[in-house]
Structure 1
Amino acid sequence: MLFVILQVLCSLLIWLSLYSGFRCWQNHRTSEWSCRLVTLAHGLIVTFLSGYIVLVDGPWPLTHTGHPNTALQVCLMCLSLGYFLFDLSWCIFFGSEGDLMLSHHVLSVSGLVLVLLLGESATEVNAVVFVSEITNPLLQARWFLREMGRYPSLAGDVVDILFVALFVGLRIVGGAWIMRAILASARTFWMLKIGALAMYVVSLAFMLDISRFAKRKLTKKYSAWKTGGELPKSNGRLPAC
C-alpha cells in the first residue's frame, strides 16, 4: 500500500509539474488553457493505456469482474487518481465547474481509491475509465477550436459528430453493458456497485445536455441551409464531461 501511495503522489506531482510547465510556456494564455492541455494529455494517455488493458492485456471486464488487480491496472489507477485529485482541486479553487462535473470528479476519486484499497475490481473500473475518457480529447479539441475562433468550420463539425457518436456508442451503450456485468457480479463490492451506478447516472445527465446541444445545432444548420444564410459563429457549449 505504501508503494501505491507513492505512485499516486508521483502522479499528482507529474500533473502539477505539467500544468506549471504549460503556464510558463503559454503565459499569455489563461489558466484554463493550461489546465485543459493537462486534461488533453491525460485523456490521450489514459485512453490508450486503458484500451490496451481492456482489449489486449486483459482480463475481459464483462466476465472477470471483482478479480484481483494486475500491476498494469494499478499503475493506471494511480495515474488517473493523481490527475483527478489535481483537476478536482483546480476546479474547486477556480470555481470553474458546476455540481454535475464536481460530482463526476468526486465519484471518480472515490472509485479509484476504493479499488486500490480493496486490491480488486480494477478490471471493471478500467473499462469504465476507458469508455469515459475516450471522448475527452474530442471535448478538449472542441474547446481549443472555439478559443482560437476555428470552431465554425468542417473541423468543428467533425469533432462534434465524433464526440456524440463515441459518447452514445461507448459511454452510454457500452457503459450499460459494463453496468450490467458489475451489478450482476457476486464478487464486486457493493459500494463499488453503487458508485458505478451513480457514475452512469451522471453520464445520462450529461447525455441530456448533449441532446439539447445537438438539437440546437441541427436546427441552426437546417435554418441556415433553408435560407441560404451563414451559420452563427457559436453553436452552444457542451458540458465538460
Structure 2
Amino acid sequence: MVPIVVEVTCSLVVWLFLYACCCCCNKHRSYEWSCRLVTLLHGVIVTCLSGYVAFLDGPWPLTHAGSANTSLQIHVLSLTLGYFIFDLGWCLYFKTEGDLMLFHHTLSICGMIMVLGLGKSATEVNAVVFVSEITNPLLQARWFLREVGCYQSVLGEVVDFFFVFLFLVLRIGGGAFIMYAMVTSPEPIWLLKAGGLAMYVVSLGFMVEICRFARRKMLKKYRSWTGLRRMNAPVKTNGNLTAH
C-alpha cells in the first residue's frame, strides 16, 4: 500500500506543478483558465490510458468484475486519484462548482481509494473512468470556445453534438452495462456496488441537465429558423406602389 500512496502523492504534486506552470504562462488569464487546461490534459491522457486498459490490456470489465488489480490499472487509477484530489481542492477553494459536481468528485475519490486499498475491482472502476472522462475534453473545449468568442460557430455545434452523443451512448448506456456487471457479480463488495450505483445516479443527474441544455438549444434553433423563414417569405402585393 505504501508504494501506491507514494504514487498518488507524486501524481498530486505533478498536477499541482502543471497548474502552477499554466498560471505562470497565462498571467493575463483567470485561474479557471489554467485549471481547465490541466483538466483538459488529464482528460486526454486518462481517456487514452483507461481505454487501452479496458479494451486491449484487460481484463474485460463486463465479465471480470471484482478481479485482482493489474499493475497498469493501479498506475492509471493512482494518476487519476491524484488529479481528482487536486480538482476537488481547487473547486472547494474557489467555490466554482455545485453540490452535484462536488458529490461526484467525492464519490470518485472514495471509490478509487477503496479499490486501490482492497487490491481488486480496478477493472470495472477503470471502465467507469473511461466512459466518464471521454467527454471531458469536449466539455473543456466548449468552455474555451466560449471564452475566446468562437462558440457560436460550426465548431461549437460539432463539439456540442459529440459531447451530448458520447455522454448518452457511453456514460449512460455503457455505464449501465458496467453497473449491471458490477452489481450481479459476486466478487465486488457491497459497499463498492453501492458506490457504483451512486455514481450512476449522479450521471443521471448530469444527463437531466444536459437534456435541458439540448432542449433549450433546439428551441432556440427552431425559433431562429422560423424567424428567418418569415423574413424571407415573399411579400404579396397587387403590383401597385404603396403611397408614402
Please indicate the TM-score interval, normalised by the length of the shorter structure: over 0.9
Q: Which residue of 2 aligns with 1:206?
A: 206
In 2, Cα distance between the equivalents of 1:112 and 1:28?
Answer: 36
1:108-147 Cα shifts (integer Å, max 9, x gaps): 0000000000000000000000000000000000000001
Structure 1 position 76, deviation (Å): 0.5
TM-score (norm 2): 0.93
Alignment of 1:76-155 (within 5 A): 76-155=76-155
In 2, Cα distance between the equivalents of 1:207 and 1:8?
Answer: 30
Q: Which residue of 1 aligns with 2:227?
A: 227
Q: Which residue of 1 aligns with 2:28?
A: 28
Q: Which residue of 1 aligns with 2:233?
A: none
- 2:209 maps to amino acid: D
Q: Which residue of 2 aligns with 1:166?
A: 166
In 2, Cα distance between the equivalents of 1:98 and 1:87?
Answer: 13
1:37-92 Cα shifts (integer Å, max 9, x gaps): 00000000000000000110000000001110000000001000000000000000
Higher Rg of the two aligned structures: 2
- 2:81 maps to amino acid: L
In 2, Cα distance between the equivalents of 1:198 and 1:162?
Answer: 25
Give unpaired runs (5+ residues) of structure 1. Answer: 230-241
Q: Which residue of 1 aligns with 2:67?
A: 67
Identity between Structure 1 and Structure 2 (%): 62
Moved over 3 A (4+): none
Structure 1 position 228, deviation (Å): 1.2
Q: Which residue of 1 aligns with 2:240?
A: none
In 1, Cα distance between the equivalents of 2:21 and 2:86?
Answer: 15
In 2, Cα distance between the equivalents of 1:190 and 1:38?
Answer: 34
In 1, Cα distance between the equivalents of 2:10 and 2:225?
Answer: 52
- 1:206 maps to amino acid: F
In 2, Cα distance between the equivalents of 1:29 and 1:82?
Answer: 25
Please tell me the root mean square deviation across aligned C-alpha atoms, in Å.
Answer: 0.7
Q: Which residue of 2 aligns with 1:53?
A: 53
